[in-house]
Structure 1
Amino acid sequence: MYVYDQYDQHIIEDRVRQFRDQTRRYLAGELSEEEFRPLRLQNGLYIQRYAPMLRVAVPYGLLSSPQLRKLARIARDYDKGYAHISTRQNVQFNWPELEDVPDILAELATVQMHAIQTSGNCIRNTTTDQFAGVAHDELVDPRPWCEIIRQWSTFHPEFAFLPRKFKIAVNGAVGDRAAIEVHDIGLEAVHNGAGELGFRVSVGGGLGRTPIVGTFINEFLPWQHLLTYLDAVLRVYNRYGRRDNKFKARIKILVKALTPEVFAERVNAEWAHLKDGPSTLTEAEVERVSRCFVDPAYRLLEDQEAALARLDAEHPGFARWRARNVFAHKKPGYAAVTLSLKPTGIAPGDITDKQLDALADLAERYSFGEVRNSHQQNVILADVEQARLFDLWGELRELGFATPNVGLLTDIICCPGGDYCSLANAKSIPIAEAIQRRFEDLDYLFDIGELDLNISGCMNACGHHHIGHIGILGVDKKGAEFYQVSLGGSAGRDASLGQILGPSFAQEDMAEVIEKIITVYVEKRVEDERFIDTFRRIGIEPFKERVYAANH
């Protein structure tokens, strides 16, 4: 993983000192709330319903064991004993005291971490596939490119006060596990006919109150021009993006208003002034960054599938876990393992200080001292020897990490909702728990198969409900909490936005509503057909008829 040099370290330590003085001045009444607000946002600090929330940057989701232990200590000493994994691969603390935040940032700096640009109208954390660098279907390791973008975007003076927040995702695999088409900029690594590396560039994707799937405006951008082209896109957005209405300020609104064709023309006109300029990437620069992402000291191993199959037969629980939580690795004899943070009764994505410490130990013993956070709010040990999977499974069961539900209905993506967030219209966590309890039967859960269920507490869509196969949105009905259901969303290469099923439902009805939807799917599917494929084949009407029939 990327290691700070003396300049990186000096920059974040300077930022800590600066924010410490800003916080002191605010608490002393020398800075008004209006003056302090942009300063705290630049350091990842939000004011939530009951307490501040601090969002810690985890570039492209990669964490080391020392960093995990530091997060555990912060959770223990400054919070309520847990942290939260966000859908952008970051870590959040929901209960810090404002006066403690400078001390927390100072602690983070000792392990090369910070909260810079995790909020505010700037370029946020660049995200990617949680299996980057180890995926069996990978064409290019996207992590060096994410790091290049991170270094370019951090403290970029031209893009510190954009019209709105800005999110970039990079995918380097055959399958899109980075959801690039619903980002402000999505980058897909590709090779042209001559075998040269470049990127397909999508712009104008995003969720929130106006969900839009992005448009590819450049089918092959040579890698050397990545930063100059990104500069051009951001300059056009910075110049023409709306600043009079925050609900219409995202780049997706600009692209739609201009049309993707006109937007691309303006980008190309701007790029003409930047192409081949000082920001053009060189092989030496890419190699400098890539050296931080070389393979660990893998052993020469043989595939262990036959031995694992025998263990499957002897231990059905292990077989279930391996079927859902173990991902194929590029190296023979290795596997990537997803640790589920979705046991029933726990807020999706929450992890305790004790679990963080235990995870650091597991990473050192099983996976070269590193873990990754996923968009699905789980964590991954990316380099586990297949021969050690059974032992690892035993340890994960003791720690609460072995729920065999990755990619299934109960692997719910869920924002904190009204339990924490002051913007939320309704609670999200109780809905997730009610659905998990309704579908606790693992046999039925496995029979249902692959299904993404996402829950957001408001139109800001932090739970990405628009791109869930089933999406749930909290809405306010005359002061009461209700929930709107959408079907047919997808975050992958076939990205699509969900269709609203109909009128919203009360909280106590939600588990039954989901069960009716699932029943229609089970009745209508053909052999080995996923929920999303059945929905696309039969449409929304059969689901609508079943769900609303009993309510009249």
Structure 2
Amino acid sequence: MYVYTEFDQALVDERVAQFRDQTQRFLSGTLSEDEFRPLRLQNGLYVQRYAPMLRIAVPYGVLNSKQIRKIASISQTYDRGYAHISTRQNIQLNWPALENVPDILAELATVQMHAIQTSGNCIRNTTTDQFAGRIQGEVADPRPTCEIIRQWSTFHPEFAFLPRKFKIAVSALNEIDRAATAFHDIGVYLVKKTDVVKRIADYKIRLEAAKQALASADVNGDQEEQQAQYDAVLHSFLNVDLVEQALNDEPSEWGYQIMAGGGLGRTPIIGSIIREFLPREDLIAYLEAVLRVYNLHGRRDNKYKARIKILVKALTPAVFASKAEAEFNQIRAELKVPSDLYAKMEKNFSLPAYQALPDLDFTETLKANPVFANWYRINTHPNKTPGYRIVNISLKRAGIAPGDATSEELDLIADLADKYSFGELRSTHEQNIVLADVEQSKLFELWETLTQYNLARAHIGFLTDIICCPGGDFCSLANAKSIPISEAISRRYEDLDTVYNLGHLDLNISGCMNACGHHHVGHIGILGVDKKGDEFYQISLGGNAGHDSSLGDILGPSFGADEVADIVEEILNTYLDNRQTINDETERFIDTYRRIGLAPFKERVYAK
């Protein structure tokens, strides 16, 4: 993982001293609330329903055991003995006293951590796949790219007060996207040049076919329809000539595809591709250009229309892209990423000191222990290095808020990281923890330890692996509580055989339209709404955060809190009644929904 230089450490230490002075001036009355607000937000400090909340940065989700022990110690000393993993891979403390926050930040600085730019209208924590650098099929390890973006965006003077917050994600796999990249202000995709060349060839074939169909439209009498189809194909790939030149400019085998204008919240939008291929040396210049266009043209008069997604939609992706290109051409020469920087960054993320080990045959072990077998198949993932495997530690337990871990559990996880995974761990978008480098021969003893401490529930990617925001139990913005709804569903589906029968399924819960629980992209999404002071819940179906991204469709009128678990059960029963099995492959919930649509679910749920 990236290790601070002396400059990095001095910068963080200086910020701690600066914020200590600002906090003291606020507490003494020298700074007003309005003056202090942007200062505390730039240091990750929110005012929540009952107490301040401090959000600690975890760049692209990578931590070491020393850092997680420090979080455990801080949570025990300054908070209520637990911490929360957020959907942006950060860590939150829900009960710090304002006067103690400078001391917390000082302690974090001793282990190369901070809370800088985890809130406020600035560039937030860059996120990526929690398995980054450890799985087959990546175009390249995305973490060096994330670190380059982090260093560029931290304390960037031009982008400290944007129209609204700004989030960037990086994806490096064609097969799966575990970072919800399409729903970010900017999505950065690592792409192979050969794949882009194929897309260009396919585009030209489709465009020629559409052109010929349009030319013969008068004969067929469908000119308007053919013109619309031609226009759709024409605009499906922006600036072909520019992209072909960019491919020639990139000496390596890969570069970037850039998407902009994605986001959830009050107006959920799937991002649009604005650059099909970008040479690696131009990454920072192009990101800077996009931010400058947004900073100049983004709305500041209405915070609900201030995100870049509103601007991209209003201008159209093509017009926004043209403005970004114009700005990019002005600054491109002066903001080249140095040719040796990628190599330097890659050294920060070299593989650990693996032993030369063979992959083990677990056939007999799995037969002998079905519970371990479920955990192995569901909570572990192949590591690209023979003899090792990636382990997911579930933080979704009935009776405990999703994503929460006590200080004792954090200390335990740190010990396990030291013992089994070279002292490194990852926080995930799904609010869990990953040990990425576990020897296969030690999986069983690790599972036994996790089982002893209620951290081995084998349901990663299934119904009860629920993404859930803190909701009305903590957040001052929430319309309704999220955690009790998650608890009710988890209790309803405690039986794992029932959960497994439902197959892979994403259920996400948000307490308000800000969508911190990503309800828009859950296969089943639940949104808390306020009705004259009472808490109700709106349900949506069919969302998906992966490469085949989609926004959920609202099922209908909302439900009372005591009805939600029953309604979810009716939805799942409708799925079970309608799913198909073809060639021994059972249809997933999302595929059944896309095939049969909303109507059967709506009819079942609202039947009288």
TM > 0.5 between the two? yes
Residue 461 (structure 1) aligned with residue 515 (structure 2): yes
Identity of aligned residues (%): 64
User: Residue type of the partner of 2:493?
Assistant: F
Residue 116 (structure 1) aligned with residue 111 (structure 2): no
Cα shift at 1:538: 0.4
8 Å CA contact retained: 2:139, 2:254: no
User: Residue type of the partner of 2:558?
Assistant: S
Matched residue, 1:246: 303
Cα shift at 1:176: 1.2
8 Å CA contact retained: 1:57, 1:91: yes
Could you list the per-position Cα deviations for residues 335-392 of structure 1 after superposition, in whole angstroms to 9, with x for gaps in the alignment?
1000000011110000000011011110011001000000000000000111111111
Matched residue, 1:285: 341
User: Residue type of the partner of 1:405?
Assistant: H
Matches for 1:295-314 after TM superposition, within 5 Å = 295-304=351-360, 306=361, 308-314=362-368
Matched residue, 2:199: none
User: Residue type of the partner of 1:192?
Assistant: K
Residue 350 (structure 1) aligned with residue 404 (structure 2): yes
Could you list the per-position Cα deviations for residues 8-46 of structure 1 after superposition, in whole angstroms to 9, with x for gaps in the alignment?
000010000010011101111111111110110010000
User: Residue type of the partner of 2:604?
Assistant: R
Matched residue, 2:416: 362
Q: Could you tell me which of 379, 389, 395 is aligned with 2:443?
A: 389
Matches for 1:13-52 after TM superposition, within 5 Å = 13-52=13-52
Matched residue, 1:184: 185
Matched residue, 1:508: 562
Residue 434 (structure 1) aligned with residue 488 (structure 2): yes
Cα shift at 1:467: 0.3
CA distance in 2, matches of 1:177, 1:457: 23
Matched residue, 1:258: 315
Matched residue, 1:233: 290
Cα shift at 1:136: 2.3
8 Å CA contact retained: 1:344, 1:436: yes
Cα shift at 1:149: 0.1
TM-score under structure 2 normalisation?
A: 0.89
Secondary structure of 2:373's counterpart equals helix
Moved more, 186-195 or 34-43: 186-195
8 Å CA contact retained: 1:135, 1:173: no
CA distance in 2, matches of 1:317, 1:9: 46
Matches for 1:165-244 after TM superposition, within 5 Å = 165-174=165-174, 175-193=176-194, 196-244=253-301
Residue 518 (structure 1) aligned with residue 572 (structure 2): yes
Cα shift at 1:139: 2.1
Matched residue, 2:470: 416
Residue 71 (structure 1) aligned with residue 125 (structure 2): no
Cα shift at 1:300: 1.1
**Unpaired runs of 5+ in structure 1?**
none
CA distance in 2, matches of 1:267, 1:20: 39
User: Residue type of the partner of 1:120?
Assistant: G
The total of aligned residue pairs comes to: 547
User: Residue type of the partner of 2:159?
Assistant: F
8 Å CA contact retained: 1:408, 1:450: yes
Moved more, 521-530 or 51-60: 521-530
Secondary structure of 1:54's counterpart equals strand
Matched residue, 2:158: 158
8 Å CA contact retained: 1:321, 1:403: yes
Cα shift at 1:534: 0.5
CA distance in 1, matches of 2:387, 2:341: 33
Could you list the per-position Cα deviations for residues 81-118 of structure 1 after superposition, in whole angstroms to 9, with x for gaps in the alignment?
00000000000000000000000000000000000000
Cα shift at 1:237: 0.2
TM-score under structure 1 normalisation?
A: 0.98
Cα shift at 1:288: 1.6
RMSD: 0.8
User: Residue type of the partner of 1:358?
Assistant: L
8 Å CA contact retained: 1:363, 1:370: yes
Runs of 4+ in 1 over 2 A off after TM superposition: 193-196
CA distance in 1, matches of 2:353, 2:548: 36
CA distance in 2, matches of 1:272, 1:22: 40
CA distance in 2, matches of 1:48, 1:275: 42
**Unpaired runs of 5+ in structure 2?**
195-246
CA distance in 1, matches of 2:180, 2:469: 17
CA distance in 2, matches of 1:485, 1:523: 20
Matched residue, 2:207: none
Secondary structure of 1:368's counterpart equals coil
Moved more, 412-421 or 281-290: 281-290
Cα shift at 1:333: 1.3
